[in-house]
Structure 1
Amino acid sequence: MDGRQQNLKTLLLKQSKNVEKINHGGEPTKNIDKKYAIFVGRYQPYHFGHIELIKQKLNQGIPALIMVRNIEPDERNPFTTEQTVTMIKKYHAAHGDDVVVMIIPDIESVNYGRGVGYEINEYQPPADSGAMFISATKIRESIKNGDDTWKSMVDESLHTDIEGFLS
């Protein structure tokens, strides 16, 4: 490293110590220097398939950054973004999971460069997994039709919240 590069590195390090690291909500974020597994979705509603996906990383000791897309409620998205965040935080707080939940703007596309320095994984649930048969669409249809089958696909701790949000 030449002198110019060293001076730039020293300057950037000094500046980074003066920067407050905040999340999208504007609150100071703890443990920002950890590496997180990122999960982006609508989570309408938060169900066992989502939980199984996130637990894959949590069980490896990797914290999760769950990013909830900020979308307007409609038929496909019956819950507000805030209600969705409430469900996710409630579930993971009760289980003591190392999770940060963040609201992000809606997404037009996901873009990344070659050799980004981290893994890009697509999760495929095992064939013998119950997650393979869980569908948020089926859950929403079940709720809309007054059919309680949705309760087998969503953690019991969230049932009352979901029913309350939709009443």
Structure 2
Amino acid sequence: MRTLPMLAIIVLLGACGFQLRGAALLPQSMERVYLQAADLNSPLVQKLEQSLRQSGAEVVPSPFEATATLRIIEDTADERVLSVSSSGQPQEYELYHTVVFDMANDNGVILQPTSLTLTRDYFFDEQDILGKAEDAAFLQDALVEDVARSIVRRAALAARAGSS
């Protein structure tokens, strides 16, 4: 008897277009992607490769093998103080990651240079310096992963729009 309501929910969710958040489905024009960046070993490029592969693309070592070239023009990550205590000590920080990227294929530019900035905030406790350093490193890694996924989603949307 429990299966009938569950089956109804699944059918209704499928009918309205719901799908679990995950890897973006890439169009055929992004089947083989060449990544161009100043530092091919940067955390962002590593996460981008991972995200592209999870989305079904093959990351190729040469632009001549690629159906699309994703170019990282600028990649900046840093932190800034958001608030200080009455004694002037930082209490809250903001991590930010800004990327400027574009994408092209044999037919020309698919996506003009686009700027993307994501941020994360965290509180700083002078009594727990090691723990907060680990928190900041974890947040920075999560931020890079979110930036990579956002780039892949935006590139896929632009490629779909360009092919229609």
TM-score range, shorter chain: under 0.3
Q: TM-score, normalised to structure 2's length?
A: 0.25
Q: Greater strand percent: which structure? A: 2
Q: TM-score, normalised to structure 1's length?
A: 0.25
